[in-house]
Amino acid sequence: MDPAKPTELPERPKEASETISKSRLKKEQKEREKAARKANPKPKESQPKPKKAANETPAPRDPNAMFKIGFLSDVYQEKPLSETVPKIRTRFPPEPNGFLHIGHSKAIAINFGFAKHYGGECILRFDDTNPEGEDERYYNAIRDIVTWLGFTPVRETCASDNFDRLYELAEDLIKRDGAYVCHCTKAEIKAQRGEGEGGQRGGERYACSHRSRPIDESITEFRAMRDGKYKAGEAALRMKQDLEDPNPQMWDLFAWRIMDSEEKQHHRTGGKWKVYPTYDFAHCLCDSIEEISHSLCTTEFELSRVSYEWLCDKLEVYRPMQREYGRLNITGTVLSKRKILQLVKEGHVRDWDDPRLYTLIALRRRGVPPGAILAFVNDLGVTKAVINVQMAKFDQIVRQYLETTVPRLMVVLEPLKVVIDGLPDDHVEMVDVPFSKEPSFGTHNVPFTKTVYIERSDFREVDSPDYFRLAPGKTVGLLRVPYPITATSFDKDPATGTVTCVYAKYEKPEEGAAPKKGKTFIHWVGESSAHNSPLRAEIRIFNPLFKSEDPSAHPGGFLADINPGSEQIYKDACIETGFRDISASAPWPKEEKNAAAGDLATNQHSIRFQGMRVAYFAVDRDSTPEKIVLNQIVSLKDTQGKT
Ligand SMILES: Nc1ncnc2c1ncn2[C@@H]1O[C@H](COP(=O)(O)OP(=O)(O)OP(=O)(O)O)[C@@H](O)[C@H]1O
Ligand SMILES: NC(=O)CC[C@H](N)C(=O)O
C-alpha cells in the first residue's frame, strides 16, 4: 500500500460550485494566475531577476540542484525508496493533441530527472483518452522532443493500452456502488452542482434521480452505452462521490462518456470504442496499473488529488502519490495550441517550429541547445508557485550556456566592400583565428586578402570623436590581422547615395617605425575564389513576435499585438570559411549527444556558433548544400553597440 500521508483537503475554493471538467479546471487556474499577475505585475517570485550581467560566465550550477533541495527533495522524503517502494517510477503524460512547448520542458525535466536522480525509471505515457484532437504526428513529435532533450523513457505506453482493463474497473466500480449511469443534460448537472442558470455559483447541491438506481440497472445501461444504444450526451457514467464535500472534484465526476467515433476515430483503437474514460477516471488508474511511485503534475490538478485518491481507494487498487508543482509560463508570447494554430494558418509565422515561437520544436529549430533549456528549468527551481518568466531571462541563460560551448566565427550581416590599397591583387595571407577563448577548441586559418567585407554599420562617411570604427582618416584593427587599416576614401552609388566601396591603407610600419594602432577591432571576411571565400548566407535575425508582455490581454486580441519587425532577413550575408570546419565537427555544444556529427539533413540546428560581435547562430532547416540559411539563436546583448 502507498504510505502517502492522508490527504489534506484544500481550502474551500471561492468558486466552490464550479463545473469540473479538466479543461475548466485549467482555465480557472489560468484566470487566477492572470488576476494575480495583474494585481502585482512584477512579483518577486514570478520575475526572477538576472543575477549577473549577461555574457559573464556564472559558476556552473549543479544540474541536479532541483532534486537535491526544495520541493522535489521534500516529495522524495515523503515517500522514499523502502521495502514498500522498491523503485522510483514516474511518468510524463502528454496528450498527443499538439506540439510540446517550453512549459512542458519543466514537466519533462521533473519527471525524467526525478526518476533518474533516484535510480528509477520514467515512462512516456500518451494520455490519449480524447480522440478528437489527437493525431499520429503529435505522438512522433513528442517522442522526438523527449529524445532531443536527452531523456530515454524506460518504455512508451498509451492510456488506450488500458481501455479494456479500465472498462472492467468501471463495471467493478458500479458493482461497489461507486458509479451510476446518468441521463441528465448538461444544464441539469450544473443545477445539481449548485450553479444557477446565469452561471452564479454556490447554490444548494442535490443528487439526481439516477444516483439511486439499482446497481444492476447501471451495469445494463453502461453496457448499452458501450454497445452504441445511446448517442453522445444521452448517457454517461458518473462516479458516486460526495456531494457534501466542499471540493468540486467530489461532485460525481464523469467517469466515462460517449464519443461519436464516426467523426474522428481513435488513432490507435479505431472504431472499437464508443465510450471513452475521462481524465479523472483514467489518469489515476493508469498510474496505478503502471505502478507509478510519484505522480508529479501541475497545480491545476491539486483539487483533483482528492478524486484521484478516492477512486483508487474505492476500487482497492494500488494508490500512487500525486504531488503538484507550479507551471512554467513565459511572458510576451502565446503557448495555447489554438492561438499558435491561428498564427500558422494566417501566415504570421512559417509553421509550428517558427523560431519566434516557444514550442520546443521552434526552440530546437532556432538552435537553442537542449542543455540550455534544462539549465533554464534547473535555474528557476521547482516550487508550488507558478513561474511567469520573461524571455530576457531565458535568453540570458541560453547566452551563458553558448558562451563557453560553441565555436566563434566571423560573419558579416550587411557586407560593405573594402579594398586595401598597397596590397597586391592576388594577396592571400592565411591568418590563424582561434575558434574560442577556450584553447581546447583549436584554431583555423582564414584568407586575408586585398578585398575584404566588413559590416556596413562599421563604417561612417563622416567621423566624430566619439566614434571608434572605420571612417575617412580613422584607423581600425581587423580581428587577428597583423596590422590595422585606415580608411582613405569611398565610392557612392549616385542614384541611391549608398556607399559601395571603401578604400583603405594597410598600416604595415616601415622597419623600425612604431606600429599604428586602431581604437577597436572589427570583424571581416576576405575574398578569395581559391578558398571559396566568402560563403554567402541568408541570415534571419529575430525580435519578439509580440509587442507587449501579455499579448492575450490586448483589447484587439493577441493578433493585434504582433510586432511587425519580429524578423529581419539579411539575404546576402558573408561567412568565413571556418564555417565548413565547424559544420563537419558539429554537434556544438559537444554534449548534444543525439545529434549526428555533420549530418546536415537532420541536425542542422546543432551547427551552432558565435558570430563575433554579432549574435549566436545555428543553421536553419531551410538550408541546402547550395544555400546556407542561419537563424539567430540569441543576441550578444551586452556587446551590441558597445564599440
Ligand atoms: N506550462 C507548463 N509548465 C509545467 N508543466 C506543464 C505545463 N504545461 C503542461 N505541463 C505538464 O506536462 C504534462 C503533459 O501535458 P499535456 O500535454 O497533457 O498538457 P496540457 O496542459 O494539455 O498542455 P497545454 O499547455 O498545451 O494545454 C502534464 O503533466 C502537464 O501538467
Ligand atoms: N496529471 C497530469 O499530469 C495531467 C496530464 C494530462 N495529460 C493533462 O492534460 O495535462
Nearest CA, atom 1, ligand 2:
297
Residue 524 covered by a domain: yes
- pLDDT tens profile 430-487: 999 999 999 999 999 999 999 999 999 999 999 999 999 999 999 999 999 999 999 9
In this prediction, residue 52 carries a pLDDT of: 45
Q: Distance between CA atoms of 566 and 367, rounded to whole angstroms?
A: 17
In this prediction, residue 641 carries a pLDDT of: 38
Q: Which atom of ligand 1 is nearest to the CA of 101?
A: 26
End-to-end CA distance of the chain: 66
Quote the ligand 1 centre to 103 CA distance (angstroms). 7
Report whether residue 283 contacts ligand 2, using a CB cutoff of 6 Å: yes
Nearest CA, atom 22, ligand 1:
95
Closest CA to 24 of 254, 228, 216, 204: 254
In this prediction, residue 26 carries a pLDDT of: 66
pLDDT at 48 over 80: no
Residue 427 structural domain: 405-643
Q: Which amino acid is at 138?
A: Y
Report whether residue 125 contacts ligand 1, using a CB cutoff of 6 Å: no
Quote the ligand 1 centre to 63 CA distance (angstroms). 22
In this prediction, residue 603 carries a pLDDT of: 79
Q: 418 has which bridge partners?
A: 452, 502
- pLDDT tens profile 76-135: 999 999 999 999 999 999 999 999 999 999 999 999 999 999 999 999 999 999 998 888
Is 337 among the catalytic positions? yes
Active-site residue, selected from the candidate residues 95, 156, 171, 414: 95
Residue 203 covered by a domain: no
In this prediction, residue 3 carries a pLDDT of: 34
Nearest CA, atom 10, ligand 2:
94
Element (H, E) at 489: strand 485-492
Report whether residue 297 contacts ligand 2, using a CB cutoff of 6 Å: yes
Residue 616 covered by a domain: yes
Quote the ligand 2 centre to 381 CA distance (angstroms). 21
Q: Distance between CA atoms of 99 and 146, rounded to whole angstroms?
A: 12
Q: Distance between CA atoms of 293 and 280, rounded to whole angstroms?
A: 18
Quote the ligand 1 centre to 94 CA distance (angstroms). 7
> Which residue among 132, 298, 333 has the greatest number of ligand 1 atoms within 8 angstroms of its CB, and so is best to mutate?
298
Element (H, E) at 311: helix 304-315
**CATH code, 571:** 2.40.240.10
Q: Distance between CA atoms of 544 and 391, rounded to whole angstroms?
A: 9
Burial of 318 (0-12, 13-18, 19+ CB in 10 A): middle
Closest CA to 292 of 480, 53, 122, 449: 122
The tally of domains found in the chain comes to 1
Q: Which atom of ligand 2 is nearest to the CA of 107?
A: 3
Residue 364 covered by a domain: no
Q: Which atom of ligand 2 is nearest to the CA of 296?
A: 3
| DSSP symbol at 642 | -
Q: What is the 3-state secondary structure (H, E, C) of 593-638?
A: CCCCCCCCCCCHHHCEEEECCCEEEEECCCCCCCCEEEEEEEECHH
Q: Which amino acid is at 27?
A: K
Q: Distance between CA atoms of 356 and 401, rounded to whole angstroms?
A: 19
Report whether residue 106 contacts ligand 1, using a CB cutoff of 6 Å: yes
Residue 278 covered by a domain: no
pLDDT at 47 over 80: no
Contact 270, 42 (CB under 8 A): no
Q: Which residues neighbour 326 within 8 Å (Cβ) at sequence distance 6 or greater? A: 298, 299, 382, 383, 384, 385, 386, 387
Q: Which amino acid is at 7?
A: T
Residue 603 covered by a domain: yes
**pLDDT band for position 11 (cuts 50, 70, 90):** very low
Q: Which atom of ligand 1 is nearest to the CA of 329?
A: 1
Active-site residue, selected from the candidate residues 327, 364, 474, 613: 327
In this prediction, residue 63 carries a pLDDT of: 82
- DSSP calls for 407-454: -EE-EESSEEEEEEETS-TT-EEEEEEES-SSGGG-EEEEEEESEEEE
Is 95 among the catalytic positions? yes
Residue 65 covered by a domain: no
pLDDT at 547 over 80: yes
Quote the ligand 1 centre to 190 CA distance (angstroms). 27
Residue 586 covered by a domain: yes
Q: Which ligand gives the minimal distance to the CA of 97?
A: 1
In this prediction, residue 12 carries a pLDDT of: 27
Q: Distance between CA atoms of 142 and 227, rounded to whole angstroms?
A: 33
Nearest CA, atom 10, ligand 1:
104
Q: Rounded to two decimals, what is the model's pTM?
A: 0.90
Quote the ligand 1 centre to 148 CA distance (angstroms). 18
Q: Distance between CA atoms of 486 and 463, rounded to whole angstroms?
A: 12
